[in-house]
Amino acid sequence: MKINKKSFKIVSILVLVAILFVCCVVAIQNPEKYTFALLPSKYLVATLSILGIITIIYLSKFLIRLISTKNAFFEINEKGIYNGLGFTKEKQIEWNNIEEIDIINYKGIQRIRVKLYNNRPFIENTDFITKFILKQTINDLGTPIIIDNTYLKCSFEDLSGIIFEYWEKYKKEFI
């Protein structure tokens, strides 16, 4: 079953990121003007603005790629799970690489945790920032693959129901 992305939500976040980018550029042009109790030094304002610009460029690149690519969808079938909306370059998750699937409440949002036998293909061939994010996710949750319905045109119940249905079908046939 193929589930498409919610483009409106992605575009909304991209507009917010563009506004933050403008704020960072304005702050870096005149850092003395934006010093206050939390940012008491013009050097701190400039440093945070530069870090903000770098982060925003990275996030914008990811969001623009999500909007413009036709492979940005989520599909569940007999082969496995295709997660075209994730940070990883490896999009296909084969059923035989999945150790366990469960529902967790992470940062106040219900998500599906997909524990893998081999995390390596999902971490390799990624840039430094993505690799750092994936390693932190592995440290926190034990896997780089966390699925939610934030950018999908379906409810969490529908998404989890379909994933667990295919997972149970695979386990009955091959395990």
Which range of residues forms the domain containing residue 15?
A: 2-68
**For residue 101, what are the β-bridge partners?**
114
- Give the integer Cα–Cα distance in Å for 98 and 81: 10
pTM: 0.68
Give, for all 175 residues of the chain, the pLDDT tens digit.
666 666 777 788 888 889 999 988 998 898 888 887 777 888 888 898 999 999 898 888 877 877 777 767 889 988 999 988 877 888 899 999 999 999 999 888 899 999 999 998 888 888 888 888 899 999 999 999 999 888 788 899 999 999 999 999 998 887 6
Mark whether 27 and 98 lie in a shared domain. Answer: no
Mark whether 161 and 77 lie in a shared domain. Answer: yes
Q: Catalogue the E-assigned strands of the chain.
A: 2-4, 73-76, 80-83, 92-94, 98-106, 109-116, 145-147
Predicted pLDDT at 19? 92
Contact yes or no for 23/172 (Cβ under 8 A):
no
Mark whether 156 and 88 lie in a shared domain. Answer: yes
Predicted pLDDT at 175? 66
> Which of these three, 42, 68, 94, is where a domain ends?
68
* Residue 77 in tokens: 């079938």
* Residue 26 in tokens: 């304005």
- Give the integer Cα–Cα distance in Å for 32 and 170: 61
